[in-house]
Amino acid sequence: MYRIGALTIGQAPRDDVVPALRTAFRRPVEVLEKGALDDLDRTAISALRPDPDEVGLVSRLRDGTEVLLSQRKLMPLMQAAVDDLVAAGAELIVVLCGADWAGLRSPVLLVNPGRLFPAVIGALAAGRRLGIIKPSAGQVEKERARYAAMGIEAVVTAASPYAGPGRLELARAAARELATAGVDLVWMTCIGMDDAMREVVAQETGRPVILARSLLGAILEQLLTPAAVAGPERR
């Protein structure tokens, strides 16, 4: 059976994400999960908070709580997690985070949403007003600048997916902001955002809505060739 390594910047298992990704797969796949923070206690995790000049990354701990992290400080932990997944037999690794992880090194294919997502969304949004929902308000300005550099006008807001049932009202408020701004297309950037949030955003905006986890699942499915799943001999 083909093995995918699912790497989160928080703690595994990501039972809020991985089961949803599995629904995109038409073939049996073994998913090996690993989190950069798996072996850390609260004190060690607190030391990974972003410095004042950094835009933090948002993730989820095993108990469901939200944590804000420094990408720079996470890099050694992420690389160690990649190495562990490869050693465990992962034949493809996917990072469950929309930041750019081009600094990671892997002998097997590594799916980096931070490069993948902007390429796809940028192509779809060319010539249109793009609405973007980030998981943290602290990420709004950086995201607006990212798409402005691509020649795309983006209206960016935020709604955390880690607020329990309250996430739906956060999504509704963000969607209303985007609807008022007259966006043509909505991009929900965080892999932690779910179908229930997407449905709220679609209802409020009346526009096409692209959900990060759905896009990622569809791309992963294309990488799972029948031959690979059957387990051909590898040199």
> For the domain that residue 42 is a member of, what is the CATH number?
3.40.50
Bridge partners of 133, per DSSP, are 157, 188
pLDDT value of position 1: 80
According to the model, what pLDDT value does residue 232 have? Answer: 40
13 lies in which domain range? 2-112+215-230
The answer on pLDDT for 176 being more than 70 is: yes
Residue 157 domain flag: yes
Residue 132: phi and psi, rounded to 5, are -130, 135
Number of domains in the chain: 2
For residue 204, the domain's CATH number is 3.40.50.10660
151 pLDDT above the threshold of 80: yes
Q: Is the pLDDT of residue 231 over 80?
A: no
131 and 106, same structural domain?
A: no
Q: What 8-state DSSP symbol labels residue 89?
A: T
Across the range 43-47, mean pLDDT stands at 97
Same structural domain, 39 and 155: no
The pLDDT value given to residue 27: 87
Indicate if 169 and 183 belong to the same structural domain. Answer: yes
**Residue 228 pLDDT exceeds 50:** no
Q: Are residues 141 and 58 in the same domain?
A: no
Same domain, 13 and 69: yes
Q: Give CA torsion, residues 205, 210, 213, 214, to 10 deg.
A: 110
* Residue 112 reports pLDDT greater than 90: yes
Mean pLDDT of 11-32: 94
222 and 175 part of one domain: no
Q: Are residues 162 and 219 in the same domain?
A: no
Residues 81 and 181 in one domain: no
Classify residue 8: in a domain, yes or no.
Answer: yes
Residues 106 and 17 in one domain: yes
Establish if 14 belongs to a structural domain.
yes
The answer on 36 and 100 residing in a single domain is yes
Note the pLDDT of residue 224.
Answer: 86
Say whether both 130 and 162 belong to one domain: yes
Give the whole-angstrom CA distance, residue 188 versus residue 148: 17
Using CB atoms within 10 Å of the CB of residue 87, give its burial: 0 to 12 exposed, 13 to 18 middle, 19+ buried.
exposed
Average pLDDT, the chain: 94
Q: Is 92 within the bounds of a domain?
A: yes
pLDDT at position 234 is 41
Q: Is the pLDDT of residue 52 over 70?
A: yes
Q: What is the pLDDT of residues 67-106, one digit of tens each?
A: 999 999 999 999 999 999 999 999 999 999 999 999 999 9
Q: Is the pLDDT of residue 235 over 70?
A: no
In a domain, 235, yes or no: no
Q: Across 20-153, where does the E strand assignment appear?
A: 29-35, 57-60, 66-69, 92-95, 109-111, 130-134
At residue 225, the pLDDT reads: 63
Percent of the chain exceeding pLDDT 90 equals 92
Q: Are residues 125 and 99 in the same domain?
A: no
In a domain, 19, yes or no: yes
Percent residues over pLDDT 70 in the chain: 95
